[in-house]
Chains A and B, each alone.
Chain A
Amino acid sequence: MKTQATEQEMLLNRTGIMTNPELSAELIQGAKEAEPSPDGDLDDIAAKRAEYVEEALPIGSKPMPVAEGDITGAADAEAEGATDAGQALSLLLDKLGERLAFERQGTRLYEGVIQKCELIGDSEGGPSVADLRHIHDEEMEHFKMLQRVITEMGGDATVQTPSADIVGVLSHGILQVVSDPRTTMAQTLQAMLNAELADNDGWQMLITLATSLGRDDLEEDFEKALESEQEHLENVRGWLETLTLSEAQALPAAEDDAASERREHESRSAKKKSSSSRKKKKK
């Protein structure tokens, strides 16, 4: 005889206020009656943060070239208004380091997506393993191209630049979503959409920066990278949209009676349960 519900059968999102209506009513009442301690507003928080902003040092220093590199382009930029060739190069290396870190992490992220796709199997309208492998390989190519570009400029391609550090912090959530075995392909693609959006803007910014610093020689490689990133973005966006819509279409237009009855029954039991647990507490 089955005595205990399985974890699957117990699935019910309990986070909302309506899960335990009677308990919630008490909770709301209590909060309404209480006075804030102390009085004040968000200005206090702003003032506290201001103290730290005032004394804050940068996240880290921008990289400088370590070998004899080519700073001619940067020198040209100086003539056009940049304050110092070294600083310009340093800024460029910082942003190149950012893209390098992003592309390297992107490669690992797509490895995770590929593995998930292999396990779940191709879903209609979603990516195939071959599609994902294609993107993965391009992310890797971009990483290696950036390694070459940074090194040719006299930079150290292994430096974690401040901008690279920032994108590392930003992408932490993406990695968490992709590497979580519980996330669906649509949820995984949602994370990758964030990555691809940021990557597209990142490349555009890099092209603008390189051009403004007189590094037209980088344009061809970078434009090519941006083009493939635009393709990644379109694909990921398309797959996500298709998967989300197909999930909606898979739902019946109107709930069948059985499902409706079951939901009603669950709601009644939840109410009873919360009411009886409150009564017990009162006793």
Chain B
Amino acid sequence: MSLDLMKEKGVPLDRQKFNWRDIVQAPTSKLDDDAFTRVRIILMNGIESEALRFQHACARMNKELQLALAQVRRVEQHQQTMVNWLLPADLSPLETTIGFEQVAIEVTASVAQHEPDPYLAQVFRFGLLEDFDHMYRFSALMDRVGGGDSNNLLQSYTDILPGRPTSVEHRAPEDDLRKPYDRKQAHPITKLNAATIMAGEHQTHDYYMTIGPMFADPLARQLYAEIASIEEQHVTQYESIIDPEETWLEKWLLHEAAEIYNYFSCLTYESNPRVKAIWQRFCDYELGHLHFVLDVFRKHEKRDPAEFLPGSLPEPIEYKSHRDFVRETLAKEVDLRARGSKFIPKEEEKDDSPSVVYREQMNSNGSPSDVVAAGYKWKPGTELADETPDIKRLQKKIA
């Protein structure tokens, strides 16, 4: 099943209505819902957050678009609220963090495997191994400070292992910029992939910046400071892969297309019927936004939007465990580093290179991500747990 973006009109903007009761629905269950329901909620909050961020930037630069932007943005605001408020109150900031990193791992893994441009696929794999490491560090924090098991959230879909060590992810700004896709040549899915991962990473950064100071433990505060800095690098990386020559309206349309693509992907995989109905409703709303913006586009730019918009949507993002792909990537590429827009083996990174100098400065008083996970090995039920007979039997069975 696919969706024809030009034929499907969705719900017209003027029929997209909310009230506070409708916006604030009963939350999902941390314990009973599938981990991928939480993954989708977190990602879609990020996608909507990016819609608002982009539309505000666009409004500041384009007087003539301000009204149209304000009209669409009002709906995006309420969509974001409804989606984000599906997270329950018993999901602590650190538990939500585990969810954010699961998004970064599993969604980026899916995107990396579907990305037709080999260089950009490499960019996604490069970022993936860094977020993979963050999962390990935050899991160690959860275990060692509060006695919690991150797998209660991950539901065994995602590994808890060291990736590219966070302490070596610190790079000079010039080594975080990548080469952009060419707006005229790029495959449509390339544009949707870039928009999706950039949105997810941006929201992750903003979330860590908000919750970091809520922790009392100084190590937790340092860890959030360190990983938020890497998320900022990731936003720098992912926004640099997008062609800056796209016009404002072209970017706006691509944002709307990415929103449709993402709601459609969620819809395809959702197991919770109530949440699925929300994905369906918002997929229809986003189709309405796309057609509203298409009208604006046609007024301002005398060209065919089919030049850059996909006619039908590509294969949806796969909401499933990508363990094999991630492990394979880890085995092959964990030691990559960046020099300018290129990826190099770590042996080629010189001692006086900007990233090494910067990294040494940032880690000159130690790296919190190293401290928190020193000697850490995840076990079912936390590192304090004994290996019970049922776990032994399980391992035997797999072996």
Q: Find chain A residues with CB under 8 A from B26 CB.
A: 52, 55-57
Of the stretches B302-310, B343-351, B378-386, the one at the interface is: B378-386
Known A-B contacts A55-B26, A140-B384; the reply to A108 vs B216 at CB < 8 A is no
Return B27 CB to nearest CB of chain A, in Å. Answer: 9
Interface residues of chain A, those whose CB is within 8 Å of chain B, are 51-52, 55-61, 66-67, 101, 104-109, 112, 140, 143-144, 147-148, 151, 156-162, 165-166, 168-169, 172, 175-177, 179-181
When the two chains form the complex, which single residue of A56, A105, A143, A148 contacts B146, counting CB atoms closer than 8 Å? A105
Do B31 and A160 have beta carbons less than 8 Å apart?
Answer: yes
Main secondary structure, interface of B, reads loop
Q: How far is the CA of A107 from the CA of B388 in the complex (A)?
A: 19
Do B31 and A158 have beta carbons less than 8 Å apart?
Answer: no
Jot down 8 A-B pairs with beta carbons below 8 A, ordered by A: A60-B29, A61-B31, A144-B386, A151-B390, A168-B90, A169-B92, A177-B216, A181-B218
Return B370 CB to nearest CB of chain A, in Å. Answer: 18
When the two chains form the complex, which single residue of A109, A156, A176 contacts B216, counting CB atoms closer than 8 Å? A176
Do B384 and A158 have beta carbons less than 8 Å apart?
Answer: no
Interface residues on B, range: 20 to 34
Q: Does B217 contact A (CB under 8 A)?
A: yes
Do B144 and A108 have beta carbons less than 8 Å apart?
Answer: yes
Q: How far is the CA of A272 from the CA of B389 in the complex (A)?
A: 72
Q: Find chain A residues with CB under 8 A from B147 CB.
A: 101, 104-109
CB neighbors of A among B15-39 (8 A): 21, 26, 29-32
Q: Find chain A residues with CB under 8 A from B77 CB.
A: none
Q: Find chain A residues with CB under 8 A from B149 CB.
A: 158, 160
Q: How far is the CA of A218 from the CA of B382 in the complex (A)?
A: 24
Return A198 CB to nearest CB of chain B, in Å. Answer: 15
Taking A101-B147, A108-B384, A179-B220 as given, write out 14 further A-B residue pairs in contact, using a Cβ cutoff of 8 Å, ordered by the A residue number: A57-B26, A59-B90, A106-B147, A108-B144, A112-B145, A144-B386, A147-B385, A148-B386, A158-B152, A160-B149, A169-B89, A169-B90, A175-B145, A180-B217
When the two chains form the complex, which single residue of A140, A158, A160 contacts B380, counting CB atoms closer than 8 Å? A158
Closest chain A residue to B149 by CB distance?
Answer: A158
Which of B31, B149, B215 has the most C-beta atoms of chain A within 10 angstroms of its own C-beta? B31
Q: Does B203 contact A (CB under 8 A)?
A: no
When the two chains form the complex, which single residue of B29, B145, B148, B384 contacts A59, counting CB atoms closer than 8 Å? B29
Do B31 and A60 have beta carbons less than 8 Å apart?
Answer: yes
Q: How far is the CA of A147 from the CA of B90 in the complex (A)?
A: 24
Do B31 and A59 have beta carbons less than 8 Å apart?
Answer: yes
Taken residue by residue from 369 to 399, chain B's Cβ proximity to chain A (1 for < 8 Å, 0 otherwise) reads as 0000000000011101110111000000000
Do A66 and B146 have beta carbons less than 8 Å apart?
Answer: no
Do B92 and A168 have beta carbons less than 8 Å apart?
Answer: yes
When the two chains form the complex, which single residue of A66, A158, A179 contacts B145, counting CB atoms closer than 8 Å? A179
Do A158 and B151 have beta carbons less than 8 Å apart?
Answer: yes
Q: How far is the CA of A101 from the CA of B290 in the complex (A)?
A: 48
Q: How far is the CA of A129 from the CA of B178 in the complex (A)?
A: 53
Do A160 and B152 have beta carbons less than 8 Å apart?
Answer: yes
Closest chain A residue to B220 by CB distance?
Answer: A179
Return B239 CB to nearest CB of chain A, in Å. Answer: 35
Q: Find chain A residues with CB under 8 A from B385 CB.
A: 104, 143-144, 147, 157-158
Q: Find chain A residues with CB under 8 A from B146 CB.
A: 105, 108, 175
Q: Find chain A residues with CB under 8 A from B382 CB.
A: 104
Known A-B contacts A59-B31, A175-B145; the reply to A151 vs B90 at CB < 8 A is no
Known A-B contacts A162-B31, A179-B217; the reply to A151 vs B388 at CB < 8 A is yes
Q: How far is the CA of A193 from the CA of B268 in the complex (A)?
A: 50
Q: How far is the CA of A161 from the CA of B152 in the complex (A)?
A: 10
